[in-house]
Amino acid sequence: MAYAVTDQFDLMTLAGLTGSPRIFFHKSADALAAVNTSGFITDGTYKGLKVGDYVLHRDSTSITGDTSLHMVVTVSATLPGAVDLSDGTVVCAGANAD
């Protein structure tokens, strides 16, 4: 799949007075390998993404709802603002070894 501007993309936290990073939630049918591709998010400026923010991505096609955490590395100054996310770390996988 490819990123769609209609995918669920929600701001979860506001920046603090010190300018701390914000956390966004993105849910789509895209696997981790697609999400960490440079320019995956095509409208980052419109979404309000800034370098240093975090994006939690949930793969909606995964039966277990695998979720990964990515940091915003770059946001293009050219509108609508392509975004490069870090490679990401799986923070919640449905595998349960017990």
Nearest to 30 by CA among 22, 46, 14, 42: 42
pTM, two decimals, is: 0.86
Residue ranges making up the domain that contains 16:
8-92
**Number of domains making up the chain:** 1
In a domain, 1, yes or no: no
pLDDT value at 63 more than 80: no
pLDDT value at 4 more than 90: no
In a domain, 48, yes or no: yes
pLDDT digits (tens, 9 = 90+) for 8-57: 999 999 876 677 899 999 999 888 888 888 899 999 999 999 999 999 99
What is the arithmetic mean of pLDDT over 72-77? Answer: 94
In a domain, 2, yes or no: no
In a domain, 97, yes or no: no
CA atoms within 13 A of residue 23's CA, in its CB half-sphere: 7
